[in-house]
Amino acid sequence: MSRWAMLALMVVLAGCNVREPARDNAAAENRSILAEDDGLANNSAAEAPKSILRPEVVPDEPEKPELKPVDLVVPFGASGLKLDDAGRKLLDEMLANATMAAGGAITISGHTDTRGNDRDNLVASRKRAEAVRDYLLTKGVPAGRMTVIAFGETRALVPNAKADGSDDPEARAKNRRVEVHVALPAGTEPAAAVPDNGAVEDSIVDSKSQ
């Protein structure tokens, strides 16, 4: 082999040796970039980025229902001293009221019409009130919340007789009743009453007429 051929071969081999380290360095750099990207992807999966444009959304707490005292009239006009299905339905509706669940005191007042003597009417009114109390006991209302009062014929809801003095059976039936009052727990503010439009208009008219 000639001298020039030998020199050309040496130049070619030297070029190959120079390019190999550069190729190795490029491959190592690519692996480093890939590893860096994998690390960023793992961090993104572990912790979702938070928006800096708006605060985190916090769900609103459910509004508490406004509590009002409850007043219920349970009729005993046709049932004598026993609680009938209509009365039980009224009491079931009252039990679903939020004020009942709040735990306030319950006053149960028994009433009669004027037929019969005072003593018998007093006993009958108590039995009616106790019938309501016993039903509420079966529904889980604590006895300590309830107070029974017998009024007899002393607190008529409507007059027992007509204007001409004759008997009024329908009115007497309305007086045979039990009134239930559920008070708010101590320290509870009652919901403010909002007058209807008619009441507001009447007030305006009255103020102008004065």
Q: What is the pLDDT of residue 146?
A: 98
Q: What is the pLDDT of residue 151?
A: 98
Dihedral sign of CA atoms 114, 115, 117, 123 in order: negative
Q: What is the pLDDT of residue 186?
A: 83
Give pTM, 2 decimals.
0.62
Q: What is the pLDDT of residue 76?
A: 96
Q: What is the pLDDT of residue 152?
A: 97
The structural domain count of the chain equals: 2
74 and 171 belong to one structural domain:
yes
29 and 87 belong to one structural domain:
no
Q: What is the pLDDT of residue 188?
A: 73
Q: What is the pLDDT of residue 17?
A: 53
Query: Is residue 36, in this structure, part of any structural domain at all?
Result: yes
150 and 86 belong to one structural domain:
yes
94 and 140 belong to one structural domain:
yes
76 and 178 belong to one structural domain:
yes
24 and 111 belong to one structural domain:
no
108 and 23 belong to one structural domain:
no
122 and 28 belong to one structural domain:
no
Mean pLDDT by 10 residues, the chain (210 residues): 63 54 56 56 55 59 79 94 96 96 96 94 97 98 97 96 94 96 83 50 40
Alpha-carbon distance 122 to 150, whole Å?
6
Query: Is residue 78, in this structure, part of any structural domain at all?
Result: yes
109 and 17 belong to one structural domain:
no
103 and 156 belong to one structural domain:
yes
33 and 77 belong to one structural domain:
no
- CATH number where 86 lies: 3.30.1330.60
Containing domain of residue 35, as a range? 9-42
